[in-house]
Amino acid sequence: MEGWRSNAHSRNPTAMTKLLLLPGDGIGPEVIAEVKRVAERLGGDVELEERRFGGASYEAEGVPLTEATLALAKACDAVLMGAVGGPKWADVPRQLRPEAGLLALRAGMEVFANLRPAVCFASLAEASTLKREVVEGLDIMIVRELTGGVYFGQPRGIETLPDGQKRGVDTQVYTTHEIERVSRVAFELARGRRGKVTSAEKSNVMETGHLWREVVTALHAREYADVSLEHMLADNAAMQLVKNPRQFDVIVTDNLFGDILSDEAAQLTGSLGMLPSAALGAPGRPGLYEPIHGSAPDIAGKGLANPLAAILSFGMALRWSLGRPDLDERLTAAVEAALGAGARTRDLGGSLGTREMGDEVLARL
């Protein structure tokens, strides 16, 4: 079970690798533009393709993700997305909304393990709304289950009852297999880090939470007894994240709790504009990389967005799918150096624009 760690296809090291860019909506195109400049500078024989996605695809093709784009995504070595969604598509039927395109992409690519690292760069400890001594040196890896749970469970929908009231239904559902494969990723990651996994669920009230705890416990005993495992109720995990975040190493949790806890963890690091993510499937399959910030419609098109989450997501793609961890290291070091020299976009309390922040990173590559 080492395979997924080097998720890259076995290939001739001199061969081109193919990265599909899906800039999407809102600030997506702006931050992906900076990734393109960085990719060009780094070289690394990465061939870039680009397609419309989300609302942009809906406008042009009538659907947020075309079959051709999904097929291309599955045929590339990695996919890097910018952001999807915005108020413009609020009244579009749910299955045609930009977010539906993202869910279809995650499901179609079968990227079940979403790695969301929350690292507090030393020079940004001041930018967090929490005290420096609480967040300094923070290095958490959230492993979010990404293709199951309440995001995909059936039945779901809104029906009208005989008395005219409406009734909305979502279904949280998990199988042993789904819980095991994502937990395995968490345990493997912990082995290469500080050796601790915290599994977060609501086993006190939810059937899926009960099963989650049972399956994680059994897998741990069977294959990962060398890793330390702790179970934590998800509400408590939310509190512990702001109380004493450095107690965590790897957190493994379901799709919905992972969505919430990762936004919370992002804020610990100073800004949502800093957090990259990698979604991985079976070994050898392409990974999906996304900055975890959204489309930020309020600042879209103004050149104000922080491109670092997208740039760091590209770094994760280099590491996990494109077989170039060395380039990820160079890139991350350049980002750290830019921050260390005081480069700040507005979300970090500075005044740099998107392109200027890109320039700061490029200058250090």
**Burial classification of residue 250, based on how many CB atoms lie within 10 Å of its CB (0-12 exposed, 13-18 middle, 19 or more buried):** buried
Cα(325)–Cα(322) distance, integer angstroms: 8
Whether residue 263 lies in the annotated active site: yes
Task: Give min distance, CB of 262 to ligand IPM, in A.
Answer: 6
**Using an 8 Å Cβ cutoff, are 58 and 92 in contact?**
yes
State which residue, 234 or 362, has the beta carbon closest to Mg ion. Answer: 234
What residues make contact with ligand IPM under the rule CB under 6 A?
85, 99, 102, 259, 292, 294
From 235, 243, 298, 302, active-site residue: 235
**Burial classification of residue 161, based on how many CB atoms lie within 10 Å of its CB (0-12 exposed, 13-18 middle, 19 or more buried):** exposed
Task: Give min distance, CB of 23 to ligand IPM, in A.
Answer: 15
Site string for Mg ion, 233-272 (x = CB under 5 A): --------------------------x-------------
State which residue, 144 or 184, has the beta carbon closest to Mg ion. Answer: 144
Residue nearest to Mg ion (CB): 259
Q: Residue 250 phi/psi, 5° resolution?
A: -110, 130
Alpha-helix runs per DSSP H in 89-206: 98-109, 132-135, 176-191
Residue 102, binding choice from ligand IPM, Mg ion, none, Cβ under 5 to 8 Å by partner class: ligand IPM
**Residue 309 host element (H or E):** helix 308-320
Dihedral, CA atoms, 342, 271, 23, 302, nearest 10 degrees?
A: -70
Whether residue 58 lies in the annotated active site: no
Task: Give min distance, CB of 155 to ligand IPM, in A.
Answer: 20
Task: Give min distance, CB of 313 to ligand IPM, in A.
Answer: 12
From 25, 202, 249, 289, active-site residue: 202
Q: Does 290 bind Mg ion (CB under 5 A)?
A: no
End-to-end CA, the chain: 34
User: Which residues bind to Mg ion, rule: CB under 5 A?
Assistant: 259
Which residues carry out catalysis?
Answer: 151, 202, 235, 259, 263
